Amino acid sequence: MKRIDFFLVYFIAAFIVSTSFMVTFASGTEGPKRYFTVYSIDYHNQSSLRPTWNNGLQARTLIMHEDNINLPAGYMGVYPRLYDDNGVVVSEPLDWVYNNSPAVGIEAPAPTYTEEGAYYSHGLTRAYNGDGYTQHSTYRSPSLNIN
């Protein structure tokens, strides 16, 4: 009988420790890529969520040229946004972030958020079209929790 109790106590302890570990150190998640063409240049954009060291979350948005050729400075811009489970925007950056030097792509985060809950990443991107910018939203990322 005692042996069963002994077994149960350690089983439960290991279960709790492993679940806490999984929640705390859960890896990030990425939404699917959205492909589009602007000014005869092929791009994709993508949103992702990344856990931070202080048990928070960062929504990140990427825009990337499909060919491995640098595009001029200012051609690509990103605007990441973090949403809670009710679709409420909880974090977004002060302004758009553009590639300030020639690059194939740029990725930037929204400010880190640490309140408990389930969150999504869903950003916006801009690509220069010769006469301004064409804007696209990303697909949403899957949700991730802060515990």
Q: Which of residues 48-67 bind another protein (CB under 8 A)?
A: 58, 62, 64
Give the separation between CA 15 and CA 65, rounded to whole angstroms: 45
Q: Which of 41, 44, 106 is nearest to 73 (CA)?
A: 106
- Interface pick for another protein out of 19, 37, 42, 114 (rule CB under 8 A): 19
Kindly state whether residue 37 participates in binding another protein, applying the rule CB under 8 A: no
Q: Contacts with another protein in 86-105 (CB under 8 A)?
A: 86-105
**Shortest separation between residue 87's beta carbon and another protein, angstroms:** 3
Kindly state whether residue 39 participates in binding another protein, applying the rule CB under 8 A: no
Binding mask 104-123 for another protein (x = CB under 8 A): xxxxxxxx------x-x-x-
| Torsion region of 140: left, alpha or beta (phi above 0 gives left; psi -120 to 50 gives alpha) | beta
Kindly state whether residue 41 participates in binding another protein, applying the rule CB under 8 A: no
Between strands 117-121 and 89-91, the pairing is unpaired
Give the separation between CA 127 and CA 119, rounded to whole angstroms: 26
Residues 6+ apart with CB under 8 A from 87: none
Kindly state whether residue 43 participates in binding another protein, applying the rule CB under 8 A: no
Give the separation between CA 57 and CA 25, rounded to whole angstroms: 11
Kindly state whether residue 7 participates in binding another protein, applying the rule CB under 8 A: yes
Kindly state whether residue 25 participates in binding another protein, applying the rule CB under 8 A: no
- Interface pick for another protein out of 25, 31, 44, 114 (rule CB under 8 A): 31
DSSP code string of 35-54: EEEETTEEEEEEEEEEE-TT
- Interface pick for another protein out of 1, 16, 38, 53 (rule CB under 8 A): 16
